[in-house]
């Protein structure tokens, strides 16, 4: 059995299908999605529909991202968050044209059932953004932190690699998990187009919302798989490159 972790999709269904085809999935493979399924390219609603169907065939774990929270609120009560609208919400709303009320209700249920985080049997943590509690995600005071935080990633990028894990200077929040997998902060912000690794944290968001690719990684073999760059797959669109 293989387990793949998959980065932020942001409405790029073509990239998702292309990526999954490269994985050559087998029946007992597992897929862990890092959140932000919507907002960016033109097929957000179609991505959700596809993921619901995919979960009927494969073992899928879906993490909740900040963009998913905004879309969930809109599906539930029609609330259009102004920040959301400017950062991909407009395209997501348009992608739902032609979807029936029953379809939207099913999608709302999908969003409501997304996990804030997942810890597997190997004590590997999966969450969208990060956490701040030195006692681990279970003790995080503000749940929004789990899909908004960037300090975890900033911290590991700037850590002194010479600090031993048993040192009192080593960040306590890192010691609770063997590995930590996140999305949320595109690696292309650091001029890197593949998943990045710092300390025991892996960042799988390779900028699919913008000019990057959609990435997956076999978490045991650490083999990386990628789609083409999203602007190539959606040549008549801007994604979030605005």
Residue-by-residue DSSP string for 22-91? HHT--TT-EEEE-S--SSSSS-HHHHHHHHHHHTTTSEEEEB--HHHHHHHHHHHH----HHHIIIIIHH
Task: Write the pLDDT tens digit of every residue in 201-228.
Answer: 999 999 999 999 999 999 999 999 999 9
Percent with pLDDT over 90 in the chain:
99
| Segment 37-80, tens digit of pLDDT | 999 999 999 999 999 999 999 999 999 999 999 999 999 999 89
pLDDT for the residue 10: 98
Q: How much is the pTM?
A: 0.97
Residue 79 confidence (pLDDT): 85
Q: 207-233 b/e with 16+ CB inside 10 Å = b?
A: bbbbbbbbbbbebeeeeebbbebbbeb
Binned at pLDDT 50, 70 and 90, residue 6 comes out as very high
- Report the CATH superfamily, name and number, of domain 3-227: Metallo-dependent phosphatases (3.60.21.10)
Domain ranges in the chain?
Answer: 3-227
């Amino acid at each position: 059995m293989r387990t793949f972790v998959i980065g932020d999709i942001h409405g790029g269904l073509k990239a998702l299908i292309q990526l999954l085809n490269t994985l050559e999935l087998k029946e007992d493979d597992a897929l862990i999605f890092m959140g932000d399924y919507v907002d960016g390219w033109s097929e957000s609603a179609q991505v959700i529909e596809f993921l619901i169907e995919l979960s009927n065939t494969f073992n899928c774990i879906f993490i909740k991202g900040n963009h998913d929270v905004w879309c969930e609120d809109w599906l539930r009560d029609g609330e259009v968050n102004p920040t959301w609208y400017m950062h991909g919400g407009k395209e997501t709303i348009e992608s739902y044209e032609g979807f029936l009320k029953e379809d939207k209700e099913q999608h709302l249920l999908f969003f409501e059932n997304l996990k804030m985080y997942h810890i597997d049997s190997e004590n590997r943590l999966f969450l969208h953004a990060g956490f701040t509690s030195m006692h681990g995600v279970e003790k995080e005071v503000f749940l929004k932190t789990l899909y908004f935080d960037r300090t975890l990633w900033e911290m590991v990028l700037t850590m002194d690699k010479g600090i031993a894990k048993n040192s009192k200077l080593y960040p306590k929040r890192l010691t609770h998990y063997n590995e930590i997998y996140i999305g949320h902060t595109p690696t292309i912000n650091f001029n890197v187009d593949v998943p990045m690794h710092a300390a025991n944290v892996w960042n799988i968001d390779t900028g699919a919302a913008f000019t990057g690719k959609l990435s997956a990684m076999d978490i045991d073999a650490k083999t990386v798989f990628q789609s083409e760059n999203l602007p190539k797959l959606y040549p008549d669109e801007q994604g979030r490159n605005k």
